[in-house]
Amino acid sequence: MATLTQQQFDPASAWARYEPDARRPWNLALAGHLYRRAAFGASWGQLQRALRDGPQRTVDALLRPVGDVAAFNRQYDELETPANDENSSNDLRAWWLQRMIRTPHPLQETMTLFWHGHFGVNAAKVNSARAVQQHLQLLRRHALGSFREMLAGVVKDAAVFLTLDAKASRKAFPDEHLARWFLEAFTVGPGRFSDRDVREVARAFSGCFVLQNQLRFIERERDAGTKRILGQEGIFTGEDVARILAEQPATAQTIVRKVYRWLISETAEPDERLLSPLVESFAKNHDVLQLAETMLRSNLFFSAAAYLQRMKSPVEFALGIVKGLEETVSTPPLAEALVRLGQNLLHPPTAKGWLGGQNWINHATLAGRHNLAAALLKSDGAFGGKLNPAAVASKHGTDARLFLDLFLQGDAEPSGDSGTDARRAAYAAITMPEFQLA
Amino acid sequence: MNTLIQTRRSFIKTTLKAGAFVSFAANAPVSLLRAATTAPQRIGDTVLVVLQLSGGNDGLNTVIPYADDAYHRGRPTLRQMARGAHKLDSHLAFHPRMEGFYRLYRDGLLTIVQGVGYPDADRNHPGGMHNWHTAAPRAPKTQTGWLGRAADRLWKPAEANVPAMFVGAIPQPFAANAEQVIVPSVRSPRELLSQSFSPVPAEPGVSWLNSLRRATAVVQANNRRIESVMAASSSADYPKFQLAEELRAIAQLIRADLGVRIFFTELGGGNIGGFDNHAGQLGNHCSLVHQLSESVAAFIRDLQRDKLHERVLLMTYSEFGRTVRENGRRGTDHGAAQPVFLAGGRLKGGLCGAHPSLTDVDKDGLKFHTDFRRVYATALDRWLGLDSRSVLSASFEPLDVLKA
């Protein structure tokens, strides 16, 4: 196996645009790779089109799709709006999955999922479907926008405060738990701040109260004194905290490193030198779209250092099947099925989100993935029997062998044993160990 | 890049040509089990079974201080008389409907840890339960449970053996909340079966793909083990209670030797559970302690048949005990200290610690003398072989309840 790892790239060539040549040709495998990372998977038609368009034009379309994304999102925002505040967030999970399947801008949804994991909001703690919806909308609005603006929204977001048990930040009892979480998990990262910074950030958040599921500012509970946070001094509030933390170079490192795990590789930690050009830009412009764009267009992305170097999350596993088979499925039971695989959307285990990687796979969740694959392919049952491998194969003028190319982009040759039953062949492909990797 | 893809391509061809497809029929498991490879046996690993009693168990009507006048004074309608109760000594007796526990106790297979609690115990259901779940009463914002943290310590991601499992119908209690490990919830071992294809042997070297291939082989080996255990042990004698069914499932999963070190189950129905009897306690509590006693006894007796009980330690807990005096509605209110029951084949048996006084009380709740985290530390250090400080964030002295 080729062992073209990140160490063999100097930063300049790693992040240079990938231009196919005889040694590194553009092919079905790389098209599948791009769609797995940027779009939850692809249909056969999308893969064929990508082959014709070449890598850079395909990336163009994934970054800046031609469809009316705003209109689509408005429609779904309306559809998913809970009838009342007390409604369970379970409906939101199902609507989000449906949105992921149908969106003209899947990269926006994968990055929204990324940010959901980053801020780790838990609907069970928020206990208001509307507050959870507003949080998700905040993430989606900035998913490929400015991290600085996103953080400015997060410090006013009731769902984040409720998830961190920070209902009332009183002057007399500044919430150090909340402060520590902002510093350690959301921005600069462990070891890059002092206990004093924690206390000062907590003071800056004083006066923040969650009342009726909205974040309110109670002036009399505000600590109006001077605070000193990461070397800066002023009469800071939560908004200042967002600005100061977003501007820290350490925050750029945290975010770039985490997006690297999301888009490029979970199997190896990148060294600082490799990331430094991206960190430098991100520290200046906080631009997530530009960061994602650099990564998705790069030589490194289209190399063995990235290829199959991530574990699919349960969402990616299930949607890869659904997108490949060109249909949608009933998403309320899908959201429930994902709980059993360890990914209860809107309910991450802690505010650190899902740690992912090999943690996704234990013998129970792997058996669960096989059983979900079988249930999705069944001609009846909870998912409505909507996925029809035989119809997909015949639509593309081929037979059961299609599924090895579609799901694994393997170049399998005709074989007496491969069988002609489309469901069986599709099931075989999606229960392969390879299909668990992204 | 080309070589990398070449490898994948040839692998798929091999798989297809080997005729590795197994029937896609809905009830395929049995046939595919025969094709599965054998994984090495994990003999000798200890197993912890944790049983939550939801609602706040009335310890005083479970282990009854029948010789104590204060008990009879405080409980004019709820008291159990000495006659009919199962006497442990001249002071204490098990509730009359707890014959199973009594026999386990007599055989040295059950230990009663008395007076378990913690300082300033929370007497509200969610708060009290949360403290037992996090094992961190002073840090209520703790985001993981003690069993979840133990599971994270036991977890070896490349090996894919799930270290902990919840068996029951209620949503997984917070104690199992882990940062890393995905702790499955099942009601029957059958839910762990899957239809899958003959495993592709792992190639030399460490890679996620190799781990996945090994995990696929483990899934298939587990299929075979679960099927054979389910066929063999269905004859074991369990009473017809839901808890008994759950413990039967746990016994089957232990026999199947899947590498699970922690099982977690529940009696009382979760939330504010069935043990919360503020009124008309007598019949309801009697039924619950009967289910507890007979189900656990059946479980230990089942395991005893092939000496598996020596690998198993079961422990119970509830969010709090109850008040000494009944409340005028033939019920009891939220109290404090409680007895914790330990069952298994390597216990010293008997009583651990004195029965708390019924007259020197705190707001009518019993005073604790044994911090509950000492029980947890016993399970973690002495039974699972973990460093309990890494789970409890502090050092607690384990109890001397296990045979050497």
Scanning B144-173 for CB atoms below 8 A from A yields: 144, 148, 155, 157-158, 160-162, 165
Tens of pLDDT, residue by residue over A119-166, are 999 999 998 999 999 999 999 999 999 999 999 999 999 999 999 999
pTM beyond 0.90: the answer is yes
User: Which chain B residue's Cα is nearest to A421?
Assistant: B24
Chain A interface includes B196 (CB < 8 A)? yes
Scanning B253-312 for CB atoms below 8 A from A yields: 258
Alpha carbon of B242: minimum distance to chain A alpha carbons (Å): 22
Lowest mean pLDDT across A229-233, A339-343, B8-12, B55-59: B8-12
pLDDT reported for residue B301: 97
Alpha carbon of A101: minimum distance to chain B alpha carbons (Å): 25
The residue among A140 and B199 whose pLDDT is bigger is A140
Tens of pLDDT, residue by residue over A63-117, are 999 989 999 999 999 999 987 766 788 999 999 999 999 999 999 999 999 999 9
pLDDT reported for residue A419: 62
pLDDT reported for residue B236: 78
pLDDT reported for residue B7: 43
pLDDT reported for residue A9: 84
**Chain B hits for A344, Cβ within 8 Å:** none
Q: Where are the beta strands (DSSP E) in A16-148?
A: none
Residue B145, φ and ψ in degrees, nearest 5: -95, 160
Query: Which of B191, B298, B182 shows the shortest CA–CA distance to B235?
Result: B298
pLDDT reported for residue A2: 38
Strand B47-53 relative to strand B312-318, pairing? parallel
Size of interface A-B (CB pairs under 8 A): 170
Q: Residue-wise over B244-279: b if at least 16 C-beta within 10 A, else e?
A: bbbbbbbbbbbbbbbbbbbbbbbbbebebbbbbbee
pLDDT reported for residue B33: 33
Q: Tokens 């923040």 correspond to what residue? A: A208
User: Is the pLDDT confidence value at B8 over 70?
Assistant: no
pLDDT reported for residue B44: 59
pLDDT reported for residue B56: 98
Tens of pLDDT, residue by residue over A289-323, are 999 999 999 999 999 999 999 999 999 999 999 99
User: Which chain B residue's Cα is nearest to A302?
Assistant: B1
Between chains, do B212 and A361 touch, taking CB under 8 Å as contact? yes
Please, what are the domains in chain B? 46-392 (3.40.720)
pLDDT reported for residue A8: 72
Q: What percent of chain B has pLDDT over 70?
A: 87
pLDDT reported for residue A420: 73
Q: What percent of chain A has pLDDT over 90?
A: 89
Chain B interface includes A361 (CB < 8 A)? yes
Helix (H) or strand (E) holding B285: helix B281-304
Angle between helices A129-142 and A106-119 in degrees, nearest 10: 120
How far lies B136's CA from each of A167, A419, B119, B143, B320, in Å?
20, 57, 11, 10, 15
CA pseudo-torsion sign A152, A156, A157, A160: positive
**Chain A hits for B11, Cβ within 8 Å:** 410, 434
**Chain B hits for A31, Cβ within 8 Å:** none
Q: What percent of chain B has pLDDT over 90?
A: 81
Token pair listed for B355: 């029965």
Alpha helices, DSSP H only, in B42-195? 69-74, 99-106, 125-134, 146-154
Q: What percent of chain A has pLDDT over 70?
A: 95
The residue among A123 and A421 whose pLDDT is bigger is A123
Tens of pLDDT, residue by residue over B9-40, are 434 443 433 333 333 333 333 333 333 333 44
Tens of pLDDT, residue by residue over A227-262, are 999 999 999 999 999 999 999 999 999 999 999 999
**Chain A hits for B8, Cβ within 8 Å:** 29, 408, 410, 434
Chain A interface includes B4 (CB < 8 A)? yes
User: Is the pLDDT confidence value at A412 over 60?
Assistant: no
Token pair listed for A116: 């959901």
* CB B364 within 8 Å of CB B324: yes
